[in-house]
Chain A
Amino acid sequence: MTTSTVVVKAPSRRSLGLRDNLGRWDLAVSPYLFISPFFILFALVGLFPLAYTGWVSLHRWDLIGGELGWAGFDNFTFVLQQRQFWVALRNTASIFLISAVPQLIAATAIAAALDTHLRNKTFWRMSVLVPFVVMPVAVTLIFGSMFGERYGLVNRTLSDIGLGPIRWHTDPLASHIAIATMVNFRWTGYNALILLAGMQAVPRDLYEAATIDGANWLRRFFLITIPQLRPTIVFVIITATIGGLQIFDEPRLYDQNGLGGEDQQWMTMTIYLYKLGWNQLNFGRAAAVAWLLFVVIVAVGLLNLFFTRRIASSEDGRR
C-alpha cells in the first residue's frame, strides 16, 4: 500500500471500560450498518425481480397470460438449441471485444494525457465527458444516419475518396464496428475519467524518486502508474465487461425494427431476450436467456479478473 509519513500519537493509558466496549461493539457492528442501506433497497428492487425472473424461467409463461405450467429446464434446453441463441452469443462477444479493447486502451491514454500539467484542466477534463451527456436519441439518430448504406455520410465520404461503400447494416462485422463506435463514443470519456481519478491518487513522491533515478515518462508510466492503478484497472475491466456483455440501447436503436437485423447480424443476447419476451410474448424462454447470459457474464468476468491480476502483479515487484 502507499507509504507516507503520518504522525502517530502514542496510545493513551485508559482503563478498560465502557468506552472500550462501545468501541469494540462499534467496530463489529458499524460495518454491517453501513452496508445495510444497499442491501435493504436491493432486497426490494433488485432481489424480487431477480427471483421473479428465475421463477419465470422454470415455467411456460406468457407475458400477458401468465403462468402456463411447470417447464423445469425445458426453456433452457430449447433456447440452447436455437441457432439464434448462438448467433447472439457470437455477436455479443464480437461487439464486446471490438468495443472494449480499443476503448480501454484509448481511455488509459486519454487519462494519462489529462493527468499532466495542462492549462485549463477543467475544460479538457470535461470535454471528454461531452459524449456521455448527449441524449441517446440524438446519438442513435446521428450515427444511424451516418452509417446508412446508401445515403449515409460515411459511405458517401468513402466513395468520394475512391473506396467502395461498406455494408454497415448488411454485413455482420461492419455492423459490429459501427455499433462499437457508438458505444465507444459514449463510454470512452467516462472510463478515462475513472482511470484519471485513480491516477490522481498515486503519490507524487513515487514519481519524484523514479525521475531522480533517471526514468523517462514512458518508464514512469509503465513502472509506477499502471501498477499503482491496479485496483482501478480491475474495476474498469470488470464494469466494462459486465456492461459490455449487456449492450442493449445501441444495437436496439441501430435500425427501425430494433431486433438486431434480418439475419441477426447485430442481435446481442439482450436483444434476443427482448425479442423472446416482448415480441413473441414468451416470458419463460426470455427469462431462461437472461439467466444463461448471467452465467456467461460471471464466467467472462472471472476470466478477465484472473488475467488482469496476473498481468498487473507480474509487472509490479512490490506485491
Chain B
Amino acid sequence: MQRLRSATKTLGVAIVAALALVACASGSTTNQSSEPVKLTLATFNKFGYSDEMLAQFHKLHPNITVVQNVAATSQAAQDNMFTKLAAGSGLGDVEAVEVDWMPKLKQYSNLFVDLSTGDTKSRWLDWKTQAATVNGKLIGAGTDIGPEAICYRSDAFAKAGLPSDPAAVSQLLKGDWSNYYTVGQQFSKANTGVAWFDSAGATFQGLANQYQNFFEANDGSVIATTNPDVKNAFVSVLNASSSSSAHLQEWSTDWNAGLANGAWATMLCPSWMLGVISGNGPKIKDWKIANVFPNGGGNWGGSYLTVPKQGKHTAEAKELALWLTAPEQQIAAFVTTGNYPSQVGAYSNPALTGAVNAYFNNAPIGQIFADRAKAVTVTPYKGVKYAAIMQAVQDGLTRVESKKQTIDASWAQVVNDIKALS
C-alpha cells in the first residue's frame, strides 16, 4: 500500500510536471514591436532551399530569420493547407503550392497577398504567371516548371531498328500524337520484349496540357463530357495502349519496379522526372533525352510560393517569396535538385545552359529544357473541378488498361462520375 501511495504520488507529480512543461513550451509567437521577424517557409518534396540559401537571405535582411517546414509529399502539404485555410489560421508565412491545386486556391484569391509589384510579372514565362493570376492579381510566385521532352531507351530503339541518337529521334518523333503512336506500333512489331510507353494515364496527361479549354470553359463550367477533344483523346490513347503500353500505373510500386527492370522504351519527361528515372533504375544505362515533344511542347507540374493573408508579416513574406524565386536562387535550386527555373532571367545563366546529366548519357539538359519551355504555347485553363475531373478520367483509362471494362463502358462511367461532381 505504501508503494502504491508513493507510486500514485509520483504519477501525479509527473503529470503536473509534464503539463507545466507543455505550457512553458507553447509560448512561441512573440509579438515584439517591429524588429526581429521569424518567417515560416512551408515547402514539400525538394525545393532546393538549402540552409545556406536561407542564411544568405538573413544576411540581406538581418532582422528576418527564416525557418523551413518540409512536408513529405504534395498531398500531405495540400491536406495541411486546406485544413488550415478552413480553420482560418496555422499556415506558414510563405506556403508552397503545386500547380495542380492552384485552381482550387484561385477561387479564394482574397485569402492571398498580391505578389505583383511593377515589373515582377514579366520576370516569368507568360504561361507560368497566367496559371496563378486572378483578375490581374498574382497570387503565386513561380518556382519551377516541368517542360516536357521525350526520354527514350537508345538500345531498345536500336534493337527495334529505329534510329537511336538524340537528334535522329527528335526528327522521328516530331509531329503530332498520331505520329508518336505510329512509331510506337512500329516499335512494338519488332518484339523487343519492352513496351513503348508506361501507361495510357501518363500519356494522357501530356495530351491534356496542350489544350486551352480541355475540361472546363473559361467561366469554370464543366465541358469535359461534351468536348469532343476529350473523348477523342481518351479513345486514341487507349487504342494505342492496347499494343504499346506496359499497363503500369504511374507511381505505383509496380511502376517503380518497372523502371528498375526497364519495362518500357519511351516516356513523357518533364524535367523533374529525370531524378525519378535515374533513382529507380540505376542498372539501366541507355536512357537518353530527345529534344522533341508531340505537338510541340507541354508543361507538367511546377510550383508556386504563395503568401497567405492570415500571416502576421506579409510584407516580409512577400520579400522572401520574390527573392527565393529570383534567377540566382532558382539556378542554385536547379543545381541541387534539378528543378527547372521559371524566370526568364535564369535562362542565359551558364550554369543552366551548360548543364549536362550524366545518367542520361550526358544529355544537355539545360539546352533541351530551355527549348522545350519555349515551345509551350498553351496555358491550359484549370478551374476548381479540374483535379477531380482528371482523377475520374484517369480512373477510366486505368479501368480499360486493366481490362476491366471496354472503352465505351468506361467512358460512360467517367461521364457519370463527372456529373456527380456538381
Residues of A that sit less than 8 Å from B by CB: 63-66, 82-84, 144-145, 148-152, 167, 169-170, 255-259, 262-263, 278-281, 283
- Is there an interface contact between A64 and B257, defined as CB atoms closer than 8 Å? no
19 contacts between A and B (CB under 8 A): A64-B105, A64-B111, A65-B107, A66-B86, A82-B420, A84-B420, A148-B252, A148-B253, A149-B254, A150-B257, A151-B254, A151-B261, A152-B254, A170-B402, A170-B404, A262-B398, A262-B402, A263-B404, A279-B387
Q: Mark B219-260, 1 if CB is under 8 A from A, else 0.
A: 000000000000000000000000000001111111001100
- What residues on A are CB-neighbors of B178 within 8 Å? none
A interface majority secondary structure: loop
Bound Cα distance from A259 to B249, whole angstroms: 14
Segment of B1-9, B41-49, B388-396 engaged in the interface with chain A: B388-396
Partner of A151, one of B258, B384, B416: B258
In B30-66, which residues have CB < 8 Å from any A CB?
A: none
B interface majority secondary structure: helix
Bound Cα distance from A279 to B111, whole angstroms: 20
- Is there an interface contact between A278 and B254, defined as CB atoms closer than 8 Å? no
Is B349 close to A, CB under 8 A?
Answer: no
- What residues on B are CB-neighbors of A263 within 8 Å? 395, 399, 404-405
Which residue of chain A has the shortest Cβ distance to B78 in the bound complex? A278
Partner of A65, one of B108, B251, B421: B108
Which size bracket describes the interface of B in this complex?
35 or more
- Is there an interface contact between B85 and A64, defined as CB atoms closer than 8 Å? yes
Which residue of chain B has the shortest Cβ distance to A265 in the bound complex? B404
- What residues on A are CB-neighbors of B396 within 8 Å? 262
- Is there an interface contact between A256 and B251, defined as CB atoms closer than 8 Å? yes
Of B85, B86, B257, B405, most buried by chain A (CB within 10 Å of CB) is: B86
Query: Quick one: given A64-B82, A150-B258, A170-B402, are A255 and B252 in contact (CB under 8 Å)?
Result: yes
In B351-388, which residues have CB < 8 Å from any A CB?
A: 384, 387-388
Bound Cα distance from A50 to B17, whole angstroms: 31
Query: Quick one: given A63-B82, A278-B79, are A256 and B402 in contact (CB under 8 Å)?
Result: no
- What residues on B are CB-neighbors of A63 within 8 Å? 82, 85-86
Bound Cα distance from A82 to B419, whole angstroms: 11
Which residue of chain A has the shortest Cβ distance to B397 in the bound complex? A262
- Is there an interface contact between A152 and B82, defined as CB atoms closer than 8 Å? no
Which residue of chain A has the shortest Cβ distance to B402 in the bound complex? A170
Which residue of chain B has the shortest Cβ distance to A279 in the bound complex? B388
- Is there an interface contact between A280 and B421, defined as CB atoms closer than 8 Å? yes
Bound Cα distance from A170 to B254, whole angstroms: 13
- What residues on B are CB-neighbors of A66 within 8 Å? 86
